[in-house]
Structure 1
Amino acid sequence: MQKEKSSEWPLIDAFGICRQTILPLYRRPTFDSAMVTQLLFGECYQTVAMTSDQQWFKVFHEDTGLQGWITTHTLKEIHAEDYAKYLNTDFQVVTSPIAAIEYLGTNLYLLPGSRLHFSDLELFNWQDHIGFTGAVRSHAIKADRSQLIDVALKFVNAPYQAGGRSIFGLDERQGFELIYTIAGYSWRSGRVPGRKIDPELVMPGDLFIFRELEKKQMKYALYLGAEEVFWMDNRIKVSDLSEWEASMRKSKDKQVELETRSIVN
């Protein structure tokens, strides 16, 4: 049944998977709407509604907790059993800046965070069977501090883009969530993982969070060691910690809070 006074038709028990390099999700079912987020190859979603003309579908991305609209031409349906399997079993995460896979008879380029649903326990060499080139890591194995930093540095110079989740455009919050997710840590819908620590105990791989309480905004900096941090300043950059702190002091918000979190075990 159509929602009252709405052009959305609700759907249940419908699932899909991203089968292109980047799949944008829009705030409204129109191309001139703002982009909410992007899905990467191999990420799964649940369809929750469609327009009355069936040209747009609203989808929910469980990993980020975000939802938005995609066109019917980009919808790739999968069975509920496959959706549950892909979310709850190990998979390979692309870590190289650009990888490639043979898909539908041609090369499809993949970006960091893309997913290949093969486990390290497979009885065959899946890379040879699917024609994959690039670097991956098992999502089930959490990265150590050095490995996490290696993942992050792949995104240096990525420009800011609202809703972006790629090296070609990165939303600050979603970008940091993506980096930790690639490294095997769950960071869903703004719920920062790990535990608070004293700033004096910070180690490489730990996270500085600057909260502007009135604006309800957060700024992040990944500590790299040797007083250097990885952060967003219109683009992802590496600089001295003092430069990031000076930038945060320019905030006009009267209520601010600085938190340091240890995420890597």
Structure 2
Amino acid sequence: MEQHYAICRVAVAPLRAEPSDKAEISSQLLFGDHVEILQKTERWWQVRNGYDDYQGWMDFRQLAGLTREQFAASQYNQYLVPPAPVNIAVDSDGGKYYLSPASILPLYDKGFCYLGEAKYEVLFEPRHVVAEDPENIIKDALFFENVSYLWGGRNFFGLDCSGFVQTVFKLNGFSLKRDAWQQAEQGTTVDFLQEVQPGDVAFFDNAEGRITHVGIMLSPTEIIHSSGRVHIDPIDNQGIYNPELGRYTHKLRIIKRYS
């Protein structure tokens, strides 16, 4: 029977632009991410992430099969890996998985989650997301402070700018797309910098007018974002000013609010 759906069974898996180990890592899948299989080669499968519709190629050995019914059930996960330094799940053979924050715990119940037919014991208290919760956005954003910038990164040891924003909002019940330009199309516009509330999201463009960067506002004068590392910089109507470089590094385009 042809396999059409699958789920990520490793802690972090690269999602590549082409079916090759040498190809650019455009994003990552985390433990519990469920995917639709679009096409297959001998080793590589092109997949679409069920959470944000992002597409890429990955080694099929990093996936476990799902039925259509299991894939559909995975759309409604309310239990996530919390923002904590160590989160361990254990498979039936005793193998340990060190999971990154915002990873999904499919079908979680009484200390166990399930990836297809495989059962995993969860050795931590999950984040139960039952509704959008803007109160924790800043706290969760600060948890990732000093995580290194990584192109395509979505995990605790490397985040790109939009991966950082997507992860923080996912932990709080907000479903954002993967790339900065896609996130800029969501939410409502904040007209003036002075009207910013903590948790609003600022977007920045390049010389061609293309949105290339994003960060989370802490106040009308400060932003936390992933550039080099996740850190706090001052911001004004011109954009982000980086004290280490002694200049503006990102030109402000628009501010959005998702709550």
Find the partner of 1:230 among 213, 224, 232.
224
Find the partner of 1:83 among 67, 71, 89.
71
Quote the Cα distance in structure 2 between the aligned partners of 1:48 and 1:15.
9
SS in 1 for 2:101: coil
Identify if the C-alpha distance between structure 1 residues 250 and 107 changes in structure 2 by more than 3 Å, giving closer, same or farther: closer
Kindly indicate whether residue 180 of structure 2 is the aligned counterpart of residue 191 of structure 1: no
Most deviating of 189-198 and 161-170:
189-198
Structure 1 residue 17, shift from structure 2 partner: 0.4
SS in 1 for 2:241: helix
Kindly indicate whether residue 188 of structure 2 is the aligned counterpart of residue 200 of structure 1: no
- Which has the higher Rg, Structure 1 or Structure 2? 1
Q: Which residue of 2 aligns with 1:41?
A: 31
One-letter amino acid matched to 2:51: D
Quote the Cα distance in structure 2 between the aligned partners of 1:49 and 1:103.
29
Quote the Cα distance in structure 2 between the aligned partners of 1:47 and 1:131.
27
Kindly indicate whether residue 153 of structure 2 is the aligned counterpart of residue 164 of structure 1: yes
Identify if the C-alpha distance between structure 1 residues 152 and 93 changes in structure 2 by more than 3 Å, giving closer, same or farther: same
SS in 2 for 1:148: helix
Name the % identity: 23
Q: Is the 8 A contact 2:19 2:57 kept in 1?
A: yes
Could you state the TM-score of these two structures normalised by the residue count of structure 1? 0.81
Matches within 5 A, 1:1-265: 14-51=4-41, 54-87=42-75, 89-95=76-82, 96-104=84-92, 105-118=94-107, 125-126=110-111, 131-145=121-135, 147-189=136-178, 190-192=182-184, 193-198=186-191, 199-212=193-206, 214=208, 216-225=210-219, 227-241=221-235, 245-247=240-242, 249-250=248-249, 258-264=253-259
The alignment covers a number of residue pairs equal to 242
SS in 2 for 1:86: helix
Structure 1 residue 245, shift from structure 2 partner: 2.5
Q: Is the 8 A contact 1:97 1:154 kept in 2?
A: no
Structure 1 residue 226, shift from structure 2 partner: 7.8
Structure 1 residue 223, shift from structure 2 partner: 1.6
